[in-house]
Chains A and B, each alone.
Chain A
Amino acid sequence: MTTFQTAFEAKSKTTGTAASKKLGAATIVAVIFLVLSGLIFSAEDVVQGSTVRIMYVHVPSIWVAYLAFALTAIFSGVYLSNRSRSLIWDRLAGASAEIGVLFVAVSLVTGSLWGRLTWGTFWVWDARLTSTAFLFITYIGYLAVRRLGGTFRQRARRSSVMALLSVLEIPLVHFSVNLWRTLHQKASVADPNAKVSLDGLMLFTLFWGLISFTMLFAWLLVHRQRLMALEDAVQDRGLDRAIQQRRTEAGL
């Protein structure tokens, strides 16, 4: 086998598989269609005009964040309840939380831009915005807890407990618009009693956004979880090498 072949195979044996590559390609196509539909094909809103186009990335972002944090809690619960204590559940939880943080950040920024156009300000200390910012900070804290020292099992145990507590914030964020008087609008599409009707293509684009962002999340989750497994393997090797070095130095 030539050096070139060896190098090529080493590169191809990373976190990708045939299935994940197909998912990646389908996701790219779905996202391109979303951008075209969101920016060009869909109609302008009667009240909000063209600013409604931000909805097609803002709403799917927070949907993925909710999904990611809910899955973080589920994976953490499985880790704690499973007798085998397989670290794959912990890695899935950690990967899901990290992706969730990215999507909350995207939702906060796009919401801020939308707010500037509709409310005249980038930020208000409104219940929905404040609780979402608090959710973002909580999961930054979760990621910080994962980076504390200790063994992989200690990391898994403490971060699982934190994930199960942190997920309780999601209903608070989601229902904050009903619990308090807020500038942020209430649920419209999801609420059957809401007097809001969306044009067919607008509704389709919104749901297409939810689907394509969920595909994006799935691709990122698969690859990030596998990358975490590689990081753990490299860390393990480093620790083994350090112990061996100490033993050699001590003449054991």
Chain B
Amino acid sequence: MDHASFIIASYALTFVSIAGYALYIVRRARRLGALTSDDDKPWI
């Protein structure tokens, strides 16, 4: 594959940034979930 470094970098940047954001959401939700009651979570 020509220009493999650019192509792989574009895929890596895309999925690492999205995965990082998803991880931030999950971790913060776990932390705040422990501080709040079930009444604050109508989706449960």
Contacts and interface: CB of A to CB of B under 8 A. Distances in A.
Interface residues of B, number: 32
A35 B16 CA distance: 13
Contact of B15 (A15, A31, A220, A227): A31
A16 B38 CA distance: 13
Of B1, B10, B35, B41, chain A has the most CB atoms within 10 Å of the CB of B10
A13 B14 contact: no
Nearest to A40: B1
Contact of A54 (B6, B22, B38): B6
Interface of A: 10-11, 13-17, 31, 35, 38-39, 49-51, 53-54, 57-58, 61, 99, 102, 105-106, 109-110, 113-114, 116-117, 216, 219-220, 223-224, 226-227, 229-231, 233-234, 237
A13 to B, nearest CB: 6
A102 B32 contact: no
15 contacts: A11-B30, A11-B33, A13-B38, A14-B30, A39-B11, A102-B17, A106-B13, A106-B17, A109-B10, A113-B9, A116-B6, A223-B26, A223-B29, A230-B35, A233-B40
A31 B22 CA distance: 14
Contact of B34 (A11, A117, A219): A11
Contacts of B6: 51, 54, 113-114, 116-117
A234 B33 CA distance: 10
B21 A231 contact: no
Contacts of B4: 50
A222 B30 CA distance: 15
A233 B42 CA distance: 12
A49 B11 contact: no
B30 A110 contact: no
Contacts of A227: 25, 28-29, 32
Contact of B10 (A13, A113, A224, A229): A113
A54 B43 CA distance: 38
A17 B43 contact: yes
A230 B13 contact: no
A229 B40 contact: yes
Nearest to B21: A102
A198 B6 CA distance: 22
